A and B are shown apart, each in its own frame.
Chain A
Amino acid sequence: MRFRLLSKRTACVAGAAVLIVTAAACSSSSSPGQAAGSSSPVAGGTITVLEGQGFSGDWPYGFDPATDVTGAANQDFFDAVYGQLFDLGANGVIEPDLATGYSFSPNAETVTVTLRKGVTFSDGTPFNAQAVYWNWMRDLGPLAVKAGIESMWDLKRVNPKVPTSAPVAGAIQVTGPYTIVVHQDVPNGAFIDQLFDAIANWIASPTAVQKEGATKFAQYPVGAGPFTVVSDTYNSELVVKKNPHYWQAGHPYLNGITFKAVSGDEAAYESLLAGQGQVYEDLSTTQILSEAGQHFTEENNPGTSPYDLQLNTAVAPFNSIKARQAIYAATNFSPILSKIFGNRYPVTQSFTGPGGICYDPNVSGYQGYDATLAKTLIAASGLNKVTFTLGTINSSPVAIETTEALRTEWEALGMHVKIANYPLAGLIAAFEANGGKSWTAMIQTAGAFDPASGVGVGFRFGSMSPFSGVHDPALDKLLSQATSFTSTAQRCTYYDQAAEYIASHYYGPFYFTFAPANIAVKSVHGPGLTAPLPSVAVVPVIPWQDVYESSSSS
């Protein structure tokens, strides 16, 4: 069974007209959107963008959507070459890009997407509903399934027992040269939000894929985006240049971009200081952040993915509710926030962040820090008699520092903790080892712009997800109810309930909404660099077609 939620729900939705959802209606306002400086866009120039290894600086499989295992990390490159069907713009507005609009059926099961006319791929072949259909079927097909990244759409399948089997004929329909319809099996109002950072959002030229074969295509992809690939050395350097046939007149402003992998925040910072790069994305090391603002433009984008501590309820010691509550009570997060993160980020008690929908930092019934209670619970649950492992990803110095600080706090109360730092592949393996029964505690980020998409709530708290420590049908039900509406207000009600449920069962404490910063030299401007941009999942995706270089700085 799949970890996407399949239970039936009541359907209730108003309106069927074409909607552009303004997500900001529900969330508390993110930083006021401002025009990108007082300078106006200038065409021309090339820049070098640095990407940190271990996350966005690794692309071992290339850029074929159907084999893109490294997903969230490489969105930048995919968007540069393919563009997207829809963009997530400032203030959480869904913007048309290669698709111009969408509509839901009243029961939120059928989605109609309208595509942009007159667009061609960079190899000259036409971009149309047929091409999108070809791509979407491929994203559900064997290549993607083998890579483990197939689109998790709720469609009627040829073999209902096998959720990765092909969809029945007609589940996805081309109803016109530029319209395509998806008949979902269950109500799901989050379909469009779920496209962001999903492989279905990137449309490859079918002609090019068939001509070159998947392996070669992955290295030299052909899409309808603002840039085309000039040279590509995996995990090292990607050079792109302006696509002269790009549909949006006047864009991209830049003539070309060189993406370079660097070994980490420090190396990137040194390179920028030395003038050997103009932009670095996803800077998280606090000490560098404190300094960087003196030399560069530092954009702290509103976060959408809070840090959470996942507890594996399937095995000891955290199958005991007392032990889990002990963790809540044992963690004093404010010194960590102040010392390691310089108090930059707002504390939260749920899986939503200020840049996304349904932001609610306070959850009723949330167990806060209480050392006395913690000691009682630790003794009562026997947590002081076992050693458990706390893991995180090794490419983030602040994540590692956080695990260290937590370990010290917990050991002071009598617990025994071992720290494990994994590379990305190793992290996945750690979750999956022994049928998901090896890991005990993990510091991760949970949540996305829309909790239903990407590394969202289901990813970390759904019973079907291999990366979740929770297997609770009641919670699954709440989460699936939350996606069955197209009205954000209604969805948020259910997300609030889910957050309270998680708190009352102590499934895992949340800390704060982490949002790495992007830094750029003063002459570079654009969304995410000089104006805030919400993250699709963890990190914001800079729309490179809107970035420009101008020496008349604001």
Chain B
Amino acid sequence: MTGARLAGSPALRLVGRRLLAAIVVLWGVTFLTFAVMSALPNDTAQVLLGLHATPAQVAELNKALGLNRPFPVRYWHWLVGLLHGNLGTDLEGASVNSQLAQHLPVTLELLAYALIGSLLLAVIVAVLAARKPNSLADRFSLGVSMLGLSAAPYAFAIFLIVIFAVKLNWFPVQSNSLGSGTLLSFFQQGTLPAASLGFPLFAIYTRLLRADLVEQLQREDYIVTAKAKGLAPWRVLIGHALRNSVFSLITVVGLNLGTLIGAAAIIEALFSVPGIGAELLTAIGNKDVPLIEGVVLVFALVTVLGNLAADLAYAVLDPRIRYGRSTS
């Protein structure tokens, strides 16, 4: 695409609209986060001052921290601090930024492992299944994916640990140092948690891809043409049908990100992964409001970005938009 084509193209306008929408959503999420957190009882001042603080001292610190000012004022200050990149200090005295910086990469790596692994497996299984619908391979894939949709990740994780860690000893039972070692140790410690997270994803992607592939193989004219031309079935499947199905898969991945990060919290706690989800659970147990706010914000940010990326990817990759025809 030449520059001139891009500038006036509907694609750019679409991207622009989507970005604007994403900013609105981001603002809305910060507001909602802050509103929910303000509604919770907040002992920050008491905890910062320690056990021997008198009520008078606590009231004074509350005043100094601005915790007794009206809601809009506090929100404004928080937002301003946020825009300066300052997320405050948590109840243990560490800066929220540093906690996030330390733990977030671990979670993101784990999520990436789960996503990529489930995508790859889903592609393989879906291709094999779509090749011969209703065959044994197909039924098997449908059965396994039904299980993936129905099994609770936390129960599945327990099952994985007992079989693969305890009985077979292929992986460690707990993954304490995930993300701070070699690549090999990352795979050793990360496989079971990623599998727990990825199993439902694999199920969704397999079904989506398989359904899409089968539909294309049956209905699309160009497939019929390709077969008529004598192209081998495998090449048709992978070279043509798969390439087109990947679009819908990508959008789905982006939309998934939000729920995924919530599921990650429980899995991280189960496996003792030092990620942001486990941090959140501890923070909630300790009523560490600054840390909770920071983590929730990050979760929401990831979700919004995921949605935005999916929207954009789909919009931009849709050939009808790329080449300037009207969108639906």
Q: A-side interface residues toward B, CB under 8 Å?
A: 53, 60-61, 145-148, 164, 215, 233, 235-237, 260-263, 267, 270-271, 273-276, 423, 425-426, 429, 432, 466
Taking the nearest CB of chain A, how far is it from the CB of B177, in angstroms?
Answer: 5
A interface SS class: mixed
Bound complex: CA of A235 vs CA of B286, how far in Å?
A: 14
| Chain B 102-118 per-residue mask, 1 if CB under 8 angstroms from chain A, else 0 | 00000000000000000
- Contacting residues, chain B, for A147 (C-beta < 8 A): 50
Cβ–Cβ < 8 Å partners of A235 in chain B:
274, 282
Pick the contact of A426 from B169, B173, B180, B287 — CB < 8 Å? B287
B172 — which chain A residues lie within 8 A by C-beta?
A: 271, 274, 276
Question: Which residues of B (250-288) have their CB < 8 Å from a CB of A?
Answer: 269-272, 274, 282, 285-287
Closest A residue by C-beta to B165: A274
Q: Which chain A residues lie closer than 8 Å to B285 at the CB level?
A: 423, 425-426
A271 and B174 within 8 A (CB): yes
CB nearest neighbor in B for A423: B285
Give the docked Cα–Cα distance between A60 and B274 (Å).
12
User: Chain B: which residue is nearest A50 at the CB level?
Assistant: B174
**Docked-complex contact A261 and B176, CB < 8 angstroms:** yes
Report the bound CA distance from A262 to B162 in whole Å. Answer: 15
Main SS at interface, chain B: loop
B174→A274 contact, CB < 8 A: no
Q: Contacts A148-B50, A263-B272, A425-B286 given; indicate if A270 touches B173 (C-beta within 8 A).
A: yes
CB proximity to A under 8 Å, residues B10-55: 43, 49-52
A residues within 8 A CB of B49?
146
Answer yes or no: B92 CB below 8 A from chain A CBs: yes
- Fill in one digit per residue for B166-182: 1 if any A CB lies within 8 Å of its CB, else 0: 10010011101100100
Q: Which residues of B contact A (CB under 8 A)?
A: 43, 49-52, 92-93, 161-162, 165-166, 169, 172-174, 176-177, 180, 269-272, 274, 282, 285-287
Is A270 in contact with B166, judged by CB distance below 8 angstroms? Answer: yes
Q: Is the CB of A60 within 8 A of B174?
A: no
Does B174 lie within 8 Å of A262, measured CB to CB? Answer: yes
> How far in angstroms is the closest Cβ of chain B from A240?
15
The answer to whether A270 and B286 have CB atoms under 8 Å apart is: no
Given known A-B contacts A274-B169, A275-B169, A426-B286, A236 and B176 have beta carbons under 8 A apart: yes
- Report if A267-B169 is in contact (Cβ < 8 Å); known contacts: A53-B272, A261-B272, A426-B287: no
How many residue pairs, one in A and one in B, have C-beta atoms under 8 Å apart? 74
With A233-B180, A237-B176, A270-B162 known as contacts, the answer to whether A429 contacts B43 (CB < 8 A) is yes
Chain A residues near B50 (CB, 8 Å)?
145-148
Cα of A236 to Cα of B269 in the assembled complex, Å = 11
CB neighbours (8 Å) of B287 from chain A are: 425-426, 429
Q: How far is the CA of A334 from the CA of B103 in the complex (A)?
A: 47
Contact B286 A263 (CB under 8 A): no
8 closest cross-chain pairs (CB), A and B = A148-B51, A271-B173, A423-B285, A425-B286, A236-B274, A270-B166, A270-B173, A237-B176
The CA of A336 and the CA of B162, in the complex, are separated in Å by 30
Find the A residue at minimum CB distance from B177. Answer: A237
> B165's contact among A270, A426, A432, by CB below 8 Å, is which?
A270
A164 touches B173 (CB 8 A): no
Among the listed A60, A148, A233, which residue makes an inter-chain contact with B92, where contact means beta carbons less than 8 Å apart?
A: A60
Q: Measured between C-beta atoms, what is the minimum distance from B82 to chain A in Å?
A: 24
Residue ID in chain A nearest B271 by CB atoms? A263
Q: Which residues of A contact B272 (CB under 8 A)?
A: 53, 236, 260-263, 267
Give bound CA distance, A60 to B283, whole Å. Answer: 11
Q: A262 to B177, Cβ gap below 8 A?
A: no
Whether A148 pairs with B180 at a CB distance below 8 angstroms is: no
Contact B161 A270 (CB under 8 A): yes
**By the criterion CB–CB under 8 Å, are B173 and A267 in contact?**
yes
Most buried by B among A53, A146, A236, A260: A236
CA distance A53 to B180 in the complex (A): 20
Residue among B49, B166, B173, B271 facing the most chain A CB atoms (10 A cut-off): B173
Minimum CB distance partner of A163 in chain B: B52
Which residues from A are CB-within-8-Å of B92? 60-61
Q: With a CB–CB cut-off of 8 A, which chain B residues contact A466?
A: 51
A-B CB contact pairs (8 Å), 10 listed: A145-B50, A235-B274, A260-B174, A262-B272, A267-B173, A270-B161, A271-B172, A274-B172, A276-B172, A426-B285
Within the complex, the shortest CB–CB distance from A350 to chain B, in Å, comes to: 28
A275 vs B170: C-alpha distance when bound (angstroms)? 11
Q: What's the minimum C-beta distance from B275 to chain A, rounded to whole angstroms?
A: 10
Q: Is the CB of B52 within 8 A of A233?
A: no
Complex interface: chain A residues within 8 A of B270 (CB): 263
Further pairs besides A146-B49, A276-B174: 8, Cβ < 8 Å? A146-B50, A148-B50, A235-B282, A260-B174, A261-B174, A426-B287, A429-B287, A466-B51
Known: A233-B180, A425-B285, A426-B286. Contact between A262 and B173, CB under 8 A? yes
**In the complex, how many angstroms separate the beta carbon of B28 from the nearest chain A beta carbon?**
32
Least distance between B165 CB and chain A CB atoms (Å): 6
Chain B residues near A271: list those with CB within 8 A.
172-174
Is the beta-carbon distance between B177 and A263 smaller than 8 angstroms? no
Shortest CB distance A430–B (Å): 12
A263/B166 contact (C-beta < 8 A), A53-B272, A233-B180, A426-B286 known? no
Complex Cα spacing A409 to B92, Å: 40
What residues on A are CB-neighbors of B93 within 8 Å?
A: 215
> For the complex, what is the distance from the CA of A61 to the CA of B50, rounded to whole Å?
14
Distance between Cα atoms of A237 and B166 in the complex (Å): 21
Bound complex: CA of A273 vs CA of B49, how far in Å? 45
* Separation of A349 and B40 alpha carbons in the complex (Å): 42
Measured CA separation A262–B282 after assembly (Å):
14
A136 to chain B, nearest CB (A): 20
